[in-house]
Amino acid sequence: MDSTVLFALGLTLFAGLATGIGSLIAFFASRTNTKFLSVSLGFSAGVMIYVSMIEIFFKAKDSLTAAQGETAGYWLTLAGFFGGMVFMAVLDRILPQMGNPHEVRTVEDMDEGPTNDEYARLRKMGIFTALAIAIHNFPEGIATFMSAIQDPALGIAIAIAVAIHNIPEGIAVSVPIYYATGSRKKAFQYSFLSGISEPIGAIAAWLFLMPFLSDTLFGIIFAGVAGIMVFISLDELLPAAKRYDEAHLSIYGLVAGMAVMALSLVLLA
């Protein structure tokens, strides 16, 4: 295993385990910093949208047109891009049956407490939410890993964006589990483990995709990664940021994320 692969796997581990940060925030913060979460989620969406539309999509197109010709390569790029979106849309249609991995929760929710007959429901909700997040994080792990393999600087930016958006997911798991069990340890464990699927997705990409990697396969995967990240940004990050929002802070974060990503791509080119 070379250093590039180890680096890419390390990035996905960092991004996935950020759910544990959300769990710690739920336990040790006295109040939710909604301004911070709104700006952070908007920033994460800005990074993902910009890098997907400006960098990843066109790298996929270049790879596919070089391998398949201008016309066929462009059509394959579009198919991969929208295929990634369709994949995430189908996944999101399935997950609500199990639990909502992006339900907005705050630290203040821990002050209310459940009634006696709600404990079992809360435990089930927390477990299903953790499972839903784990399934959802699997393709994000593939996206982060493949980006880091192709361009380490790009991988770092995506890993940071994914890690930011995993923090409120950790809160979403921790709050119901904590109230159902009364155990901070169990709540943290469920939250922590829900992020493990991210590096598992990276390992799956390394084992099953890397041995067959060609310009065509790389281009299709990268186009799909762009579609996945745009869908996540529009369907999850921005709506969540707006629910935490105060005075359009999420949009300011979005613009800042795009600007930082744009400068990074220029300076690191």
- Gap between the Cα atoms of 243 and 266, Å rounded: 33
142-148-150 Cα angle (round to 5): 100
Please check if 137 is assigned to a binding site: yes
198 is in an annotated binding site: yes
| E strands, 141-209, in order | none
246 is in an annotated binding site: no
Residue owning tokens 């059509």: 75
**Is 100 part of any known ligand binding site?**
no
DSSP code of residue 30: S
Binding residue positions:
137, 140, 165-166, 169, 198
Binding residue positions for Zn(2+):
140, 165, 169
Binding residue positions for Fe(2+):
137, 140, 166, 169, 198
